[in-house]
Amino acid sequence: MVAFDYDDIQLVPAKCIVKSRSEADPSVEFGPRRFRIPVVPANMQSVINENLAVWLAQNDYFYVMHRFQPQERLGFVRRMQEKGLYASISVGIKDEEYGFIDELKAAGLTPEYITIDVAHGHSVYVVKMIEYIKKQLPGTFLTAGNVATPEAVRELENAGADATKVGVGPGKACITKLKTGFGTAGWQLSALRLCKKAAQKPLIADGGIRQNGDIAKSIRFGATMVMVGWMLAGHRESPGNLISLDGKDYKQYWGSASEIQKGAYRNVEGTQMLVPYRGPIENTLREMKEDLQSSISYAGGRDLDALRHVDYVILGH
């Protein structure tokens, strides 16, 4: 089997049927809602915070809040819903997370979206957590991950997950491949393609997006939604510190399994880096939307569905 990644393939243009790119509709339905574009900022503490979550929800973008301030989550759900906004949070799989699900239930709070966020999502304990959440909070749309194989997608879906997140190790701040020898780094797009063959429910492609065109490629190979860290970490609204070096501005970006996140050098599979400062996130999201509209026109359609059927070539083969 040929394994390929984003840079190894190109999509083949098909006859255009729109008069203007502005006619193309890049919106996507994910769970109970429709969002402007199939892009979600990574649920990392260096990418999303409450202020940004509010702005994204108010502007019809999907977001997933990170899980690294566990005591804040219940209040976060309540504050979002009191403002008439949807709540979308992350949980882990440690024992105390069961208590958190119980607290949500006792408070009468059901977040519209919950994401189980662990490095190795093909796990007995993720299956247990899926079953527990679906039993206690059946109204939530539950995403589980991260996984790398069709078997994992099947198991998590069968356990009750409404969507699965694909990508082990392709992230910019990731050192999983180097530290463990495992993952989808370098063949993330092929992994997505294989997972899509098994999936009955939506997939989120997570990690490795380096250009806006990679979003369209992710859709082609089976993603409903695309999770983006590094490319969305350098904005005015991004939580990382602003740092000036040699006359240039940067924001700090760190992995969720980095020493800085964990506060200790234990099971570290992530690193930190500086990302060039890019100004307001609104501009980057608008450019992503315009580029997706262009992609749809090259695909010969009017919406994201057109991208799912275009031909592609694997360069060098």
Ligand X SMILES: Nc1nc2c(ncn2[C@@H]2O[C@H](COP(=O)(O)O)[C@@H](O)[C@H]2O)c(=O)[nH]1
Ligand Y SMILES: NC(=O)C1=CN([C@@H]2O[C@H](COP(=O)(O)OP(=O)(O)OC[C@H]3O[C@@H](n4cnc5c(N)ncnc54)[C@H](OP(=O)(O)O)[C@@H]3O)[C@@H](O)[C@H]2O)C=CC1
- Cα(120)–Cα(146) distance, integer angstroms: 6
Q: What does DSSP assign to residue 241?
A: P
| Residue closer to ligand Y (CB basis): 47 or 216 | 47
Which one of 97, 162, 206, 214 is in contact with ligand X (CB under 6 A)?
206
Q: How far is the CB of 257 from ligand Y (least distance, A)?
A: 4
Q: 34-53: which residues touch ligand Y (CB under 6 A)?
A: none
Pull the structure tokens for residue 307.
């991208």
Task: Give the up-direction half-sphere exposure of residue 302: CA atoms within 13 A in the CB hemisphere.
Answer: 4
Pull the structure tokens for residue 251.
């924001």
Q: How far is the CB of 198 from ligand Y (least distance, A)?
A: 19
- Cα(171)–Cα(286) distance, integer angstroms: 23
Pull the structure tokens for residue 7.
């840079």
Q: Collapsing DSSP states into helix, strand and coil, what is residue 23? A: helix
Residue 192, binding choice from ligand Y, ligand X, none, Cβ under 5 to 8 Å by partner class: none
Q: Name the one range near ligand X by CB under 6 A: 190-198, 200-208, 217-225, 294-302.
A: 200-208
Site membership for ligand Y, residue 218 (CB under 6 A): no
- Cα(60)–Cα(85) distance, integer angstroms: 10
Which one of 31, 202, 207, 239 is in contact with ligand X (CB under 6 A)?
207
The verdict on whether 174 is a catalytic residue reads: yes
Q: Which residues pair with 225 in a beta bridge?
A: 204
Q: Name the one range near ligand X by CB under 6 A: 136-144, 150-158, 223-231, 274-282.
A: 223-231
**Residues 311, 13 contacting (CB under 8 angstroms):** no
Site membership for ligand Y, residue 127 (CB under 6 A): no
Which one of 117, 157, 162, 237 is in contact with ligand Y (CB under 6 A)?
117
**Residues 234, 253 contacting (CB under 8 angstroms):** yes
How long, in residues, is the chain?
A: 317
Residue 42, binding choice from ligand X, ligand Y, none, Cβ under 5 to 8 Å by partner class: ligand X
Binding site for ligand X (CB under 6 A): 42, 44, 146, 167, 169, 171-174, 176, 206-209, 227-230, 255-258, 269-270
Which residues are catalytically annotated? 174
